[in-house]
Amino acid sequence: MSVNSKLYEGKAKILYTTDNPEILLADFKDDATAFNAQKRGSIVGKGIINCSISSHLFQHLEAQGIKTHYIDSPAANQMRVKAVKIVPVEVVVRNIAAGSLCQQTGLPLGTVLKQPLVEFYYKNDELGDPLLTRDRLQLMELATEEQVATITNLALQINKYLQGFWQQCGITLVDFKLEFGLDSQYEVILADEISPDTCRLWDATVDDPNLRVMDKDRFRRDLGNVENAYQEVLQRVLKAVESNK
Ligand code: TMP
Ligand code: ASP
């Protein structure tokens, strides 16, 4: 496979075209940003760790029948993916109150939600990725009603499978962000990444609200030991994958 030109550079990944128009190469970077890139830094080894974790999670989801853009991982920080047209919506699934849900509703951190909450945010850095209502989604024609229903269903299924997987790792899945895309058949499939950058992951055996954090909140909130936490998540993922073989 020959790699052609840079198609797009995001905050955490670079996408390259390949000689096959249906296949792109994603290069995972160590760069880290938070608060709409107002805070910038680097997490050493993150590119390799997030690529590896995402690859395993996509394969786990594929095995449960969830279609994803994942093809394979030709190098430690690279993933070959199906080219899709990204739906410009960030889909957040929450099981436990944290982050912006606490800030915007006053719910105490750690409140277990009676049922998972699926939220849609407009993927638009200039506007600061605002929370959307279903009506605004339709107004902006970001997705059809049918696509929104499909995405909601998929997000809830993915949540169920991921909760089970992370539980095996001794990790509580607090919340996470997904992105979906339309493949060449206009089918909605899971895209982007699933990693400690895009999930809140709490060590299930630790009660201390700062010590239990194993995800990008360590970077966002200057909690320290960011690299160690990412490494520990990867080690637990590899162990779970091994024991599922
Ligand atoms: P929030 O509580 O800040 O809205 O974040 C919800 C989840 O989405 C959390 O797991 C982190 C993830 N997330 C991203 O992946 N990218 C983002 O730009 C933001 C704001 C959150
Ligand atoms: N996507 C956010 C940023 O711009 C990062 C985050 O909070 O996860 O910088």
Residues with CB under 6 A from ligand 1: 92, 98-101, 129, 175-177, 198-200
The residue-averaged pLDDT of 142-150 equals 96
Domain span at 137: 85-225
Q: CATH number for the domain including 161?
A: 3.30.470.20
Is 33 a pocket residue for ligand 2 (Cβ < 6 Å)? yes
Distance 139 CA to ligand 1 centre (A): 24
C-alpha–C-alpha distance, residues 168 and 242, integer Å: 11
Question: Which atom from ligand 1 is nearest to the alpha carbon of 100?
Answer: 2
Handedness of CA 41, 53, 159, 170 (dihedral sign): negative
* 104-114 residue pLDDT tens: 999 999 999 99
Assess contact for 201 and 173: CB atoms under 8 A.
Answer: yes
Residue carrying the six token digits 């390949």 = 18
CATH number of residue 26's parent domain = 3.30.200.20
- The pLDDT mean for the chain works out to 97
| Nearest protein Cα to ligand 1, atom 15 | 198
Are 100 and 162 in the same domain?
Answer: yes
Same domain, 115 and 158: yes
Q: Which ligand has the minimum distance to the alpha carbon of residue 131?
A: 1
Cβ of residue 123 lying under 6 Å from some atom of ligand 2: no
The reply to whether 53 and 167 lie within a common domain is no
Nearest CA to ligand 2 atom 6: 34
CA dihedral 82, 86, 89, 92 (to 10 degrees): 10
- CA–centroid distance for 16 within its chain: 20
pLDDT digits (tens, 9 = 90+) for 60-95: 999 999 999 999 999 999 999 999 999 999 999 999
* Ligand 2 centroid to residue 1 C-alpha, Å: 32
Q: Number of C-alpha atoms within 13 angstroms, CB side, residue 243? A: 8
* Same-domain check for residues 129 and 220: yes
What's the rounded Cα separation, in Å, for the pair 43 and 34?
A: 12
